[in-house]
A = this chain, B = another copy of it.
Amino acid sequence: MAFSPLVDELVESLRCLPGVGQKTAQRMAFHLLERGRSGGVRLSEALSTAMSDVRRCDSCQNFADTPVCGICENPARHTGTLCVVESPSDLLAIEQAGDYRGSYFVLMGHLSPIDGVGPEEIGIERLLQRIEAESVKELILATNPTVEGEATAHYIADRLDGRNVLITRLAHGIPVGGELGYVDGFTLTHAFRGRKPLAD
């Protein structure tokens, strides 16, 4: 851009956001400069604090401000049930559903040897230690229903072989409110195989 090195630098920096290319970054920069300077200042401060102060919870690996996060510290959560998720957004979705009251373990990824992500990178040892220390009764493997997510779930299950822990996986089936005509074949097959008596 010919007119301002500061604006150039702002546009370039905005491109570090996922899904933001040159044109979107320009639109964002101009929007902030024209109509959102207070929002821009707020974002600058939030970014600066978050980038330096947000750490990982010592217990569940999720993002936290404190050594141990709010969920892990909450005495009302059942420690006997542990739910393993891939990412903080998965945890958030489960929390927003509001039904689950156990604790979590966030892998921050999945096993992917081709990208150099092995058991150590996603904290499997820490998970096993925690299962031991908290005498977890049920481990819910809520990794994504993708090839990598399934592989990660199976790897964790294998590592727990012989221990007295019930290992479960989330049910597959028709989404609530979904229409049968739009549901794919794999999901329908799962839904048929997992059918239940009406009284249940």
Whether B6 contacts A33 by the Cβ 8 Å rule is: no
**Bound-state Cα–Cα, A13 to B7, Å:** 20
Give every chain B residue within 8 A of A132 (Cβ-Cβ).
none
Contact between B3 and A16 (Cβ–Cβ < 8 Å)? Answer: no
> Interface residues of A: mostly helix, strand, loop or mixed?
helix
Does A30 belong to the interface (CB within 8 Å)? yes
Chain A residues 33 to 58 lying within 8 A of chain B, measured CB to CB, are 33-34, 36-37, 39-54, 57
Q: How many copies does the complex hold?
A: 2
Contact B65 A43 (CB under 8 A): no
Binding site for B on A (CB under 8 A): 1-7, 9-10, 12-14, 16-19, 24, 26-34, 36-37, 39-54, 57, 62-65, 69-71, 87-89, 91-92, 95, 108
Question: Whole-angstrom distance between the alpha carbons of A49 and B28 in the complex?
Answer: 16
Q: Is the CB of B46 within 8 A of A3?
A: no
Q: List 13 A-B contacts (CB under 8 A).
A: A2-B95, A3-B71, A4-B63, A7-B63, A9-B49, A16-B36, A17-B31, A18-B27, A19-B27, A33-B63, A41-B47, A44-B44, A44-B47
Beyond A28-B17, A47-B41, is A54–B4 a contact (Cβ under 8 Å)?
yes
- Asked whether, in the complex, the Cβ of B63 is within 8 Å of the Cβ of A50, the reply is no
Q: Which residues of B contact A13 (CB under 8 A)?
A: 39, 42-43, 45-47
Contact of B65 with A10 in the complex, beta carbons under 8 Å: no
Question: Which chain B residues lie closer than 8 Å to A32 at the CB level?
Answer: 16-17, 47, 50-51
Known: A6-B54, A34-B108, A44-B47. 13 other contacts (CB 8 A): A2-B71, A4-B65, A6-B53, A7-B50, A9-B46, A10-B46, A13-B47, A14-B43, A14-B46, A17-B31, A17-B43, A40-B51, A47-B47
Docked CA distance A9–B63 (Å): 13
